[in-house]
Amino acid sequence: MSIGNSPEDERPFEDDREESHLSVGRALQQARIAAGLTVDDVSNATRVRIAIVHAIEADNFAPCGGDVYARGHIRTLAKAVHVDPAPLITRFDAEHGGRPAPTPAAPLFEAERIRPERRGPNWTAAMVAAIVAVVGFVGFTAVKGGDDGGTKDQVAGGSTPTTSTSASPTPSGRKNADQKPEPSDSAIAAAPQDKVTVQVSATDGRSWISAKDHNGRLLFDGLLKQGQSKTFQDSSKINLVLGDAGAIQLYVNGKKIEDDFQPGAVERLTYTKGDPQIG
């Protein structure tokens, strides 16, 4: 089969006995031909390389790079040729041992646990200093009153209101000491500058995602449902694969990524602690 040929040249012989037993690749190929599309047309519409489209139609999923990526490509190609991807994914799982259980994300990369905590004023120390100052003032007044002789009773009588007036800020100080600083508005707003922090949120649907650190260690491999998010962090680099990039919103190092990802498109992305360098 040559690249760029017309769908009419690829049209297979009709065989009703084989129609119910079509493989995943064969079903995608026949749907593409029925839609009047060439391999070039499908590749341009999905951004899946021509060689991978040919391989999938021949039921060769090795060039996809793994079962997760193969499912993403099958789903993308099925949408492009106007067929329901669910039966094809089910058939693929049955032929390749089923879908693997998602790998939980490593707790080390939860930004909430390593985010530096804001520190507010030390109200406890200020309150203690105020009390010491009040006690010193009362003591000084009492000693001075003793030196004046006849004013001793007056000082003793006046010491009570003096103490209560000066110590009146104490309850207010204790109230301020109990107050805690307001939390950050964003889970990654205080992302450390010496690390790369990536937040993946499924805002417009669900998507399979895979994340690895700079050593190639798998951090997460599974389905992210709509409304869910995952945060990953590494000392130098995060590698991402998005099965349906159009459903995902990314925040890298506290900044929103504005790339116009297409629904159903598979994206392979790499971010470092210096990103995003451009809009």
DSSP state of 48: -
The side-by-side arrangement of strands in the sheet containing 218-224 is: 218-224, 207-212, 237-242, 267-272
Task: Check: CB of residue 203 under 8 Å from CB of residue 251.
Answer: no
166 part of a folded domain: yes
In this structure, are 173 and 191 located in the same domain?
A: no
In this structure, are 151 and 204 located in the same domain?
A: no
In this structure, are 73 and 17 located in the same domain?
A: yes
pLDDT surpasses 90 at 245: no
In this structure, are 171 and 199 located in the same domain?
A: no
Helix or strand (DSSP H, E) at 39: helix 39-46
pLDDT for 139 equals 79
In this structure, are 222 and 267 located in the same domain?
A: yes
Domain count, the chain: 3
pLDDT surpasses 80 at 186: no
277 part of a folded domain: no
37 part of a folded domain: yes
Owner of token pair 């519409």? 45
Task: Check: CB of residue 227 under 8 Å from CB of residue 103.
Answer: no
* Residue 18 in tokens: 């084989």
In this structure, are 192 and 215 located in the same domain?
A: yes
* Residue 36 in tokens: 């009047």
In this predicted model, what pLDDT tens digit does every residue of 8-61 receive, in sequence order?
Answer: 555 544 444 444 578 999 999 999 999 999 999 999 999 999 999 999 999 999
pLDDT for 153 equals 43
Q: The domain containing residue 61 runs over which residues?
A: 7-95
Residues in the chain: 279
Query: Which letter, b or e, does each residue of 238-256 get, where b requires 16 or more Cβ atoms within 10 Å of its Cβ?
Result: bbbbbbbbebbebbbbeee
**CATH for 252:** 2.60.40
Q: Backbone dihedral region of 65: left (phi > 0), alpha (psi from -120 to 50 degrees) or beta?
A: left
DSSP state of 250: E
Name the more confident of 15 and 191.
191
Task: Check: CB of residue 251 under 8 Å from CB of residue 231.
Answer: no
In this predicted model, what pLDDT tens digit does every residue of 74-117 receive, in sequence order?
Answer: 999 999 999 999 999 999 998 886 665 555 555 444 444 555 55
Report the mean per-residue pLDDT for the chain.
76
Name the more confident of 62 and 167.
62
pLDDT for 230 equals 93
Strand partners, 268: 241
Distance, in Å, from the CA atom of 103 to the CA atom of 92, rounded to the nearest integer, reads 20
pLDDT for 261 equals 82
In sequence order, which residues have a C-beta less than 8 Å from that of residue 193 and are 6 or more positions away? 273
**For 255-263, what is the mean pLDDT?**
84
pLDDT surpasses 90 at 5: no
pLDDT surpasses 60 at 228: yes
In this structure, are 174 and 190 located in the same domain?
A: no
pLDDT for 102 equals 56
- Burial class of residue 53 in the structure, from the number of CB atoms within 10 Å of its CB (0-12 exposed, 13-18 middle, 19+ buried): buried
